[in-house]
Amino acid sequence: MLNTLSHGTPGGTPLVIVHGLYGSGRNWGVIAKRLSDRWHVLTPDMRNHGDSPRTQTHSYPDLAGDLAELIDAHGGRAHVVGHSMGGKAAMVLALQHPEKLASLLVADIAPVAYTHSQIQFIEAMRAVDLSRVEKRSDAVEQLALHVEDKTLQSFFTQSLDVQNKRWKLNLDTLAREMPKILGFPEIQGRYDGPTLFLSGGQSDYVQAEHRPRIRELFPKARFAKIPKAGHWLHAEDPRGFEASVRAFVDHVEG
């Protein structure tokens, strides 16, 4: 079972937030806490991330199966919000187990293969000499030699266990499975439930040419943008992201 943080009081249809590559459930703590005034919010660590099990595989059917198990443990049906890798996992969950979703919100990703590899970040993390890390800033200093973006430096080191001098990421499996992470599996099925594709206005991850494929798999898909945000829309405009989730799920629940 995935390691999962719980926010708010159990009851009603829970809201599951699925993080992206190199993330963790803890990254979503602020937004989850705000939304917990209305829903019981669950933020799992996906496999090979955070405190969840490390495995030899990291395919989207695997990730979807993990989420199905989590939802079954919390009543059998949930609203699911997924960002990037988490969005792909949520889409596969919806296509394979539509009965487990009350609604689906996909944040800045499409059901297509992408060409921009994320492997350089694994190499950057592997390059950190953990024996010389006594505090998080020591790792940031080393990461800065390979990763220019200060936001990403901070983001990656949130997955660093300083005390035990280890990454809370299964870098070996993630590197080996990167083609699957960047891709999207061929799946028979469709999800006819309420679906929102929420994109960053400054991001190029969800293109107009992706819409036919999206509508083929998710016939009720609607589209919205957070104008001033990029791919990390929940971090760049957390209030806007929270408001979008609220409006969509409230509308679904009527």
pLDDT (0 to 100) of residue 36:
98
Q: How many CB atoms lie within 10 A of CB 48?
A: 23
Tokens for 8, please give them.
Answer: 């708010």
User: What's the DSSP call for residue 53?
Assistant: P
Using CA atoms, how far apart are residues 234 and 221, in angstroms rounded to an integer? 20
Catalytically annotated residue among 24, 52, 84, 203? 84
* Mean pLDDT computed over 231-241: 94
As a whole number of Å, the CA-based R_g of the chain is 17
Concerning whether 231 is annotated as a catalytic residue, the answer is: yes
Per-residue pLDDT at 23 exceeds 90: yes
Q: How confident is the model at residue 151 (pLDDT cuts 50, 70, 90)?
A: confident
Per-residue pLDDT at 91 exceeds 90: yes
Catalytically annotated residue among 19, 58, 231, 234? 231
Concerning whether 83 is annotated as a catalytic residue, the answer is: no
Using CA atoms, how far apart are residues 155 and 84, in angstroms rounded to an integer? 15
Share of the chain above pLDDT 70, in %: 100
* pLDDT, tens only, 158-208: 999 999 999 999 999 999 999 999 999 999 899 999 999 999 999 999 999
* Mean pLDDT computed over 206-231: 96
Catalytically annotated residue among 72, 149, 172, 192? 172
Decide: 104 and 80 in contact? Cβ < 8 Å: yes
Share of the chain above pLDDT 90, in %: 95
Using CA atoms, how far apart are residues 201 and 107, in angstroms rounded to an integer? 12
pLDDT (0 to 100) of residue 254:
86
pLDDT (0 to 100) of residue 188:
85
* pLDDT, tens only, 140-149: 999 999 999 8
* Mean pLDDT computed over 217-225: 97
Terminal Cα distance for the chain, rounded = 32
pLDDT (0 to 100) of residue 118:
87
Using CA atoms, how far apart are residues 79 and 252, in angstroms rounded to an integer? 9
Concerning whether 210 is annotated as a catalytic residue, the answer is: no
Using CA atoms, how far apart are residues 142 and 104, in angstroms rounded to an integer? 38
Tokens for 135, please give them.
Answer: 């505090």
State which amino acid sits at residue 19.
Answer: H
Residues 6+ apart with CB under 8 A from 148: none
Residues 6+ apart with CB under 8 A from 247: none
Q: How far is CA 203 from CA 51, 91, 207, in A?
A: 30, 19, 9
pLDDT (0 to 100) of residue 83:
98
* pLDDT, tens only, 115-145: 988 899 999 999 999 999 999 999 999 999 9
Using CA atoms, how far apart are residues 90 and 101, in angstroms rounded to an integer? 9
Tokens for 75, please give them.
Answer: 């009543």
pLDDT (0 to 100) of residue 116:
84
Query: In what order do the strands lie in the sheet containing 78-83?
Result: 4-7, 41-44, 15-18, 78-83, 101-107, 195-200, 221-226
User: What's the DSSP call for residue 186?
Assistant: -
* pLDDT, tens only, 239-254: 999 999 999 999 999 8
Q: Which of 159, 205, 203 is nearest to 182 (CA)?
A: 205
